[in-house]
């Protein structure tokens, strides 16, 4: 037997047992006449002691180096008073090796998994199999497994079926760019990897599988971020004969289950609900971080009456003047600090940042002179400002004030430690707009996707004020992340065609791209709705991490490359010939 126990298992109660443990040499401490080995596996670290009277074992022990793979057999002994190591669960015992077996040597590793200082990420990704030996990543993988299992258990109990949908599908150029896969037997034609199983799961509803879920891999060929990978996993859910409320309740239940399983925490239900409009007004964001307040205030009415040109003109041109009040932050941000914040909001399109510091019951600022006593008082009361507070305002379009202040709010929330970083605040954001104006193409686009059902009473605005039409849609937000997104779907083929018409998808194009869906809608489609949760992001949030690569075993870099395997790579000309593909890469 290569092992009887793991390296995380032995306790004082095991003293006297003859055991075999196997793992990697985390470190070796050679005292000449006595050698200690910290043996590591994913369960923990156990100390092995090798004494010279065990000649064969001792000889092997002398040759051991970091990351050698060994098995050690011997009696479990107590370490005795003063020699215990409280850092390890197994720290009260050790294995007195009678026999050592060297399974494999290791080259000197580029970095040591046991080291407290992290090497740079590039190196970690290149040697991911070593990086994955680190307890932090092992913890992430274990939590990911636990979460996935809890999700499946919850839906299984609810009568859901997990059904796999194809990875090789049809390309739909709307939305994100597809990863394409060439077909050999259909020269010149391509499959697309799924951006999500959206259409398949709707078809499953029409096929009568009224409760579906899938842990589904999805692919999007777009630029990456700290929280975005080109392939990611979503918890995909769809239900038939349901309304929005049924989905919300189902997912509320899932959340409570996960909080119980992962954090052993009772999550109060129902989860907070905000409308999209409310979220945008109060936080400037459709995915607000609700761990802290510092809500946006609109001072347009005051700005309009003031003599401050920038503010007045903004209002006159249909813009807005909004701001946030950072409690007690006046001293923390010097002139230079505020300059930095000004540069920061410029990233989001703001042209500047106006500020007031509240001191001795009065506003202090270079622009205070443009506001009379009443107006100053109105600003103070609008923000509820007290001595020591810092008020920051942006005057611009609705969109820019929202984006800039939302980003500023997140930044200040973090810099001023306005929340407990281990807290998780989950809430629903409802009633997203159905359409958004596409500036580039000068047309209306589906804000979410074109299969979202409109809110019925808003359909009257379709012709006159399309931006006002709300969708029966819902996002789950947590700590500033979009953590799930879904909607009631269209199940009436006529409504579906109306939506396509409106966003400029002609019946011919619709037939070509989504003909199968339109057909299916005409063969008895039940009312249905669904949602998809970002699994990677949830693992991230449960770990309190803000980097998605830390929760994926083999992630890709920002340029979607795999540092370990070298993917993507050139392929043989023969492979290309089989596929009838010629590449045309500009020479650089």
Candidates 13, 18, 115, 272; binder of RNA (CB under 7 A) is 115
Q: Does 415 help bind RNA (rule: CB under 7 A)?
A: no
Site string for RNA, 244-283 (x = CB under 7 A): ----------------------------------------
Minimal distance, residue 142 CB to RNA, in Å: 22
How many positions of this chain bind RNA (CB under 7 A)?
73
Q: Residue 154 or 219: which CB sits closer to RNA?
A: 219
Candidates 12, 56, 142, 226; binder of RNA (CB under 7 A) is 226
59's tokens: 């000889």
Q: Does 117 help bind RNA (rule: CB under 7 A)?
A: yes
Q: Tell me how far apart the alpha carbons of residues 577 and 568 are, in angstroms, rounded to a whole number.
A: 18
Please, how many CA atoms are within 13 Å of residue 109, restricted to the half-sphere of its CB?
27
Minimal distance, residue 418 CB to RNA, in Å: 19
Give the DSSP letter string of 375-428: HHHHHHHHHT--TT-EEEEEEE-HHHHHHHHHHHHHHHHHHTT-S-TT---EEE
Q: Does 171 help bind RNA (rule: CB under 7 A)?
A: no
Q: Does 212 help bind RNA (rule: CB under 7 A)?
A: no
Minimal distance, residue 319 CB to RNA, in Å: 17
Minimal distance, residue 250 CB to RNA, in Å: 20
Max distance between CA atoms of the chain, in angstroms, equals: 92
Candidates 8, 135, 169, 175; binder of RNA (CB under 7 A) is 175
Number of helices (H), then strands (E), belonging to the chain: the values are: 16, 22
Q: Does 475 help bind RNA (rule: CB under 7 A)?
A: no
Q: Tell me how far apart the alpha carbons of residues 449 and 434 are, in angstroms, rounded to a whole number.
A: 9
Between strands 426-430 and 272-275, the pairing is parallel
Between strands 180-182 and 231-240, the pairing is unpaired
Residue ranges in 82-111 that form contacts with RNA under rule CB under 7 A? 82-85, 87-88, 91, 94, 108, 110-111
Specify the DSSP class assigned to residue 551: G
Residue 278 C-alpha from the chain's centroid: 23
Q: Does 11 help bind RNA (rule: CB under 7 A)?
A: no
- 358 close to 386: Cβ distance less than 8 angstroms: yes
Candidates 12, 56, 59, 65; binder of RNA (CB under 7 A) is 65
Site string for RNA, 565-584 (x = CB under 7 A): --------------------
Residue 556 C-alpha from the chain's centroid: 15
Residue ranges in 527-556 that form contacts with RNA under rule CB under 7 A? 547, 549
Residue ranges in 35-64 that form contacts with RNA under rule CB under 7 A? 36, 38, 47, 49, 51-53
Minimal distance, residue 195 CB to RNA, in Å: 5
Burial of 489 (0-12, 13-18, 19+ CB in 10 A): buried
Residue ranges in 329-348 that form contacts with RNA under rule CB under 7 A? 347-348
Candidates 122, 360, 420, 441; binder of RNA (CB under 7 A) is 122
- 74 close to 18: Cβ distance less than 8 angstroms: yes
Burial of 264 (0-12, 13-18, 19+ CB in 10 A): exposed
Q: Does 423 help bind RNA (rule: CB under 7 A)?
A: no
Minimal distance, residue 425 CB to RNA, in Å: 19
Q: Residue 171 or 377: which CB sits closer to RNA?
A: 171
Candidates 104, 120, 264, 569; binder of RNA (CB under 7 A) is 120
Tokens 């990897």, residue located: 193
CB atoms inside a 10 Å sphere around CB 272: 12
Q: Does 557 help bind RNA (rule: CB under 7 A)?
A: yes
Minimal distance, residue 120 CB to RNA, in Å: 3
Nearest-CA neighbor of 165 among 209, 118, 198?
Answer: 198
Q: Does 448 help bind RNA (rule: CB under 7 A)?
A: yes
Q: Does 587 help bind RNA (rule: CB under 7 A)?
A: no
- Contacts of residue 121, defined as CB under 8 A and 6 or more positions apart, other chains included, come to 549
Site string for RNA, 298-317 (x = CB under 7 A): --------------------
Q: Does 487 help bind RNA (rule: CB under 7 A)?
A: no
């Amino acid at each position: 037997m290569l092992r009887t126990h793991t390296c995380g298992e032995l306790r004082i109660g095991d003293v006297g047992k003859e055991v075999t443990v196997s793992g990697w040499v985390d470190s070796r401490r050679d005292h000449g006449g006595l050698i200690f080995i910290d043996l590591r596996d994913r369960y923990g670290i156990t100390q092995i002691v090798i004494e010279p009277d065990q000649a064969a074992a001792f000889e092997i022990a002398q040759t051991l180096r970091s990351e050698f793979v060994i098995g050690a057999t011997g009696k479990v002994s107590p370490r005795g008073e003063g020699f215990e190591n409280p850092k390890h669960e197994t720290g009260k015992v050790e294995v007195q090796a009678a026999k050592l077996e060297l399974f494999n040597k290791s080259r000197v590793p580029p970095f040591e998994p046991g080291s407290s200082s992290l090497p740079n990420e590039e190196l970690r990704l290149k040697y991911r199999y070593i990086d994955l030996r680190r307890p932090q990543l092992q913890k992430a993988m274990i939590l990911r497994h636990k979460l996935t299992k809890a999700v499946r258990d919850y839906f299984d109990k609810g009568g859901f079926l997990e059904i796999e949908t194809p990875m090789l599908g049809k390309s739909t150029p709307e939305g994100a760019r597809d990863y394409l896969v060439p077909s050999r037997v259909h020269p010149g034609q391509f499959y697309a990897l799924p951006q999500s199983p959206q259409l398949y799961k709707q078809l499953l509803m029409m096929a009568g599988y009224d409760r579906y879920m899938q842990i589904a891999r999805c692919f999007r060929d777009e630029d990456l971020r700290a929280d975005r990978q080109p392939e990611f996993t979503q918890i995909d859910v769809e239900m038939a004969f349901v309304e929005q409320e049924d989905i919300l309740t189902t997912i509320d239940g899932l959340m409570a289950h996960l909080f119980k399983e992962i954090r052993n925490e009772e999550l109060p239900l129902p989860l907070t609900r905000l409308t999209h409009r409310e979220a945008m007004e109060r936080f400037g964001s459709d995915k607000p971080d609700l761990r802290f307040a510092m809500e946006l205030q609109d001072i347009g009415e005051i700005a309009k009456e003031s003599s401050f040109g920038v503010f007045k003109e903004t209002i006159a041109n249909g813009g807005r003047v909004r701001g946030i009040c950072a409690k007690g932050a006046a001293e923390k941000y010097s002139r230079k600090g505020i300059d930095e914040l000004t540069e920061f909001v410029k990233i989001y399109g703001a042209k500047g940042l106006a500020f007031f510091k509240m001191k001795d019951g009065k506003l202090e600022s270079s622009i205070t002179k443009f506001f009379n006593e009443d107006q100053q008082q109105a600003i103070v009361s609008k923000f509820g400002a007290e001595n020591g507070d810092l008020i920051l305002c942006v005057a611009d379009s609705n969109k820019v004030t929202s984006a800039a202040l939302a980003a500023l709010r997140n930044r200040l929330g973090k810099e001023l430690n306005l929340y407990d970083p281990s807290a998780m605040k989950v809430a629903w954001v409802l009633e997203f707009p159905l359409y958004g104006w596409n500036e580039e193409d000068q047309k209306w686009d589906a804000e979410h996707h074109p299969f979202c059902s409109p809110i019925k009473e808003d359909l009257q605005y379709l012709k006159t004020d399309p931006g006002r039409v709300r969708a029966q849609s819902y996002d789950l937000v947590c700590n500033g992340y979009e953590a799930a997104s879904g909607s009631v779907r269209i199940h009436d083929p006529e409504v579906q065609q109306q939506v396509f018409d409106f966003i400029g998808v002609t019946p011919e194009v619709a037939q070509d791209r989504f003909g199968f869906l339109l057909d299916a809608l005409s063969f008895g489609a039940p009312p249905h709705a669904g949602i998809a949760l970002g699994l990677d992001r949830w693992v991230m949030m449960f770990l309190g991490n803000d980097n998605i690569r830390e929760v994926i075993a083999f992630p890709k870099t920002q340029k979607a490359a795999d540092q370990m395997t070298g993917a993507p790579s050139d392929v043989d000309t023969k492979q290309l010939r089989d596929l009838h593909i010629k590449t045309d890469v500009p020479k650089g």
